[in-house]
Amino acid sequence: MKIILGSSSPSRKKLLNNTGIEFKVKKPTIDETAQKKEFKGKKKDLAVYLAEKKALSIHAGPEEIIIGADQVLLQNNKIYDKPKSIQEAKKHLKALSNKTHNLISGTVISKKNKIIWRHQGVSKMKMHKLTDKEINEYLSKSGENILKCVGAYNVEGYGSKLFKKIEGDFFSIVGLPLIQLLSAIRKIGKD
């Protein structure tokens, strides 16, 4: 069995690399914006839906499994995407300041063009009340890389100091629910 990570996320690649398993990376070929518009389900289910679309967009051989993943930040029934600019990142952080939001991670495995495993993780994230100065300092330290992060933060880096309380799986927050994912891969390998 060969493993393909269907993601261009550096965080997901690093997480999977740290496990020691062998895999290759292929970038999904979906238009995320179009897929979000087509989606008709509940907002909390969007991450799994996008993960499925990503995994199924990648061509693989019969002995290859594909890992697809996505995250959705939901606060007061509003979805926050990756910020398109530092100004938008600043707006996101101001809106999330002193509030609790849900970071929903969707992860799937596909084989032979069928989804054979799904996982949804929900993490409750409570931010400190952030001043403009704190937001500006954080964005200055983080730089343009923050534009690749839903919610304009990365808890594995400088973003950890933005939070008052986090309830959920750390690995899911960073990008992949490693414990559940590795268990699923192990089981699929035995089948």
106 Cβ partners below 8 Å, 6+ apart? 45, 46, 47, 48, 49, 50, 51, 52, 69, 70, 71, 72, 118, 119, 120
Q: CA 28: distance to chain centroid? A: 14
CA-nearest of 130, 148, 33 to 90 is: 130
Q: CA 54: distance to chain centroid? A: 12
Catalytic option among 31, 70, 81, 132: 70
Residue 169 is a catalytic residue: no
Q: How far is residue 11's CA from residue 3's CA, in Å, rounded to a whole number?
A: 17
191 Cβ partners below 8 Å, 6+ apart? none
Structure tokens at 187: 């089981």
Residue 9 to residues 1, 12, 14, 15, 176, Cα–Cα distance (Å): 23, 5, 9, 10, 10
Angle at which helices 86-96 and 132-142 pack, to 10 degrees?
Answer: 130
Catalytic residues, by residue number, are: 70
